[in-house]
Structure 1
Amino acid sequence: MMRWLSFLQLCLSLLLILPLPLEAFEPLTMGAIGLGAVGFGTYFKEYTYCKFTECCDDRSIPANIEALRSSLNRYLFGQHIVAQHIIPALSAHFQSRSTSRKPLVISFHGQPGTGKNFVADQIAKALYLKGSESSFVSKYLGQADFPQAGMVDAYKARISREVRNKLHECPRSLFIFDEVDKMPSGVFDTLTSLVDYNAFADGTDNTKAVFIFLSNTAGTHIADHLGNLMKGGKLREDTRLSDYESLLKRAAYNLDGGMKKTTMIESHVIDHYIPFLPLEKSHVLSCLQEEFWRWDRNPDSQKNKKLIDDIIDTSISYDRTHGLFAISGCKTLEKKVAVAVNYS
């Protein structure tokens, strides 16, 4: 209430002085009026315009890391390494926003259905009031946005232009590049300078942004490595990021895709390589139970238990090498549960 009274008083003051001719004011007075106008504009935007539309401010970008933590704990299955590293990485980045010297750059790797897109969406949901629908969230799809290897130069120019424009609009932007393994090699070369330690001549601030790359690259390598570790007696939950990080860097750099031989890896601008482990039967079961809850169906009822068992027995295939990991993870379960619930 006090803020609105102050706002009304300011408006009345302006109405009283504006009818006077400008020549009536001394230069010092005119300067004070100019500063007052700037303050008035900031005040007006913060307490009126930005109350009803999205702005690059704390209201529209709350960066609710605790909400993200709760969501991952509740809905992400079989990915202890992800939860251990994503939360601290984002927390540190946003806490040091005023002193950060580069954007946060994260690369997700793993087989389909292991949760990469889910986590990226949950990050957007936690950081922005409008989640993935925020105008400050940009998402690119490999096959859809960069389909032709012969157009790499055009794609590089597009990425550079669009990222700079978005950063100029809001330094606290999020960029998600999905299907990196399906992008032509070299497409990210001009992006390296935009995610490195930089002070741009045009005033563009990149230090508050977040870049996330999603790729199936190294998914089979992660599965084979985990399978061998488990056969050697190591528990899945005891594996750490250090067990996979060098493997991910080598695979991303050497295998076909947008990261192949890229200067982004050579320049060490990627802060975190995050492995998404292949899912086992118990994790798929948890995904199925969650899908039933999403349909307001109790997965523990006798009827639904049978439906879940049928889906697992008839629709889930496991890797040939170890016989432990569901090939498609939880990727196809949503549609299978929809059929089971509506036509059983």
Structure 2
Amino acid sequence: MKAQHFVVVLLLVSNITLFSVFLDVFVAAASADYTCFERDDLLPFDSKRLKEDLRENFLGQHIASNVIQRAVSSFMTDRNPNKPLVLSFHGTTGTGKNHAAKIIARNVYEKGENSKHVHLFISEHHFPHTEKLHFYSAQLKKQIHESVSRFPRSMFIFDEMDKMQPQLIDAIKPFLDYNACVDGVSFHKAIFLFLSNAGGNIITGVTLDFWRKGINRENIWMDSKELEIKITENIFNEKNSGFSYSSIIDEHLVDHYIPFLPLEMKHVRQCVLVEMAHMRITQNFDLADQVAKAMPYFPKEERVFAVKGCMSIRQKLSLYIN
């Protein structure tokens, strides 16, 4: 009888142990699923949300806003794109290239630019030493490949693209191609953004020509005076730019070369008002006018276009507040 009781107790203990093991496995699996879910912060894409975000927060760039909205919306709603989305932003300092990249990121990912899937490379910061180009190229290839293999909808932002060495640009090239599949990984759903000052003088020149002829800046579009073609030609012929020595341009791997026009005083004024909101300062239109007028403009006599765009607005505003 005692032996029977012993066997029953042993079976009960065994069952409890088995259940405990099963529970541990289940919890571990659930935790893994939760981790994956947490890591996948992709937003359900909404083209109307992107359009509204660009309209409200992307000041004075009607061409860039229009092209970005259409290009990103088309790409994000395509279930089977035949290549990654590759956009190249061009314009002088302070015209909003970085800001546009942030707007795209926050319409693709829940955490926006802070998402683990958004990878920013700044040429002179991340690749400062020419003697290490071979090492940089290998690391860059590895990071892009690993990122997309883990998460196909990864985003890569390359700032100061005009200062990037040709060898590094060519390291990116295989991932941009049509039907790109590198070592068994498809890159069709990845997004590549190139930010550059290259072509800025061409864009400024076209804008000035329109102004001198009395034509509103808002009447400039991508096909105005073959603007996009002029940008690509300028980039291709610029001997100090890594772009000119890379095969990315002549193999047509960039989907759109997007011009960022120089900003006018009215746009700078809007930037001041936005900065006031960010700094939680009561909006003051007279103060906004003061700050906007204190910024440098060109041509020198007419003071039409902002030399630095909306850069240094916070610093200038702080002087007036203090």
Fold shared by both chains (TM-score > 0.5): yes
Q: Structure 1 residues 70 and 45 mapped into 2: Cα distance closer, same or farther (>3 Å)? A: farther
Pick from 267, 272, 281 the counterpart of residue 265 of structure 2: 281
Distance 1:324 1:314 in 2: 13
Q: CA deviation at 1:45?
A: 7.1
Distance 1:295 1:226 in 2: 32
Pick from 274, 277, 290 the counterpart of residue 290 of structure 1: 274
Q: With the length of structure 1 as denominator, give the TM-score of the two structures.
A: 0.79
Unaligned runs of 5+ in 1: 1-15, 20-39
The AA in structure 1 aligned to 2:138 is: A
Contact 2:174/2:182 (8 A) holds in 1: no
Q: CA deviation at 1:161?
A: 1.6
Distance 2:182 2:36 in 1: 29
Match of 1:246 in 2: 229
Match of 2:158 in 1: 177
Pick from 262, 270, 283 the counterpart of residue 299 of structure 1: 283
Distance 2:170 2:63 in 1: 29
Q: Secondary structure at the match of 1:208?
A: coil
- 1:81 maps onto 2:66 in alignment: no
Distance 2:71 2:246 in 1: 23
Unaligned runs of 5+ in 2: 1-14, 19-25
Q: Secondary structure at the match of 1:147?
A: coil
Match of 1:165 in 2: 146
Contact 1:143/1:182 (8 A) holds in 2: yes
Match of 2:39 in 1: 54
Q: CA deviation at 1:322?
A: 7.0
- 1:329 maps onto 2:309 in alignment: yes
Q: Structure 1 residues 298 and 76 mapped into 2: Cα distance closer, same or farther (>3 Å)? A: same
Cα offsets for 1:110-162 (capped at 9, x unmatched): 01111100010111111111111111110000110122334333332222121
Distance 1:103 1:225 in 2: 30
- Count of aligned positions: 299
- 1:117 maps onto 2:102 in alignment: no
Distance 2:283 2:170 in 1: 48
Distance 1:180 1:46 in 2: 38
Q: With the length of structure 2 as denominator, give the TM-score of the two structures.
A: 0.84
The AA in structure 2 aligned to 1:238 is: N
- 1:63 maps onto 2:9 in alignment: no
Cα offsets for 1:238-259 (capped at 9, x unmatched): 1111231011111222222331
Cα offsets for 1:44-77 (capped at 9, x unmatched): 47964445x212xxx5343344332222111221
Contact 1:227/1:322 (8 A) holds in 2: no
Pick from 189, 193, 198 the counterpart of residue 208 of structure 1: 189
Q: After TM superposition, where is structure 1 displaced by more than 6 Å over at least 4 residues in a row?
A: none
What is the percentage of aligned positions where both structures have the same residue? Answer: 31
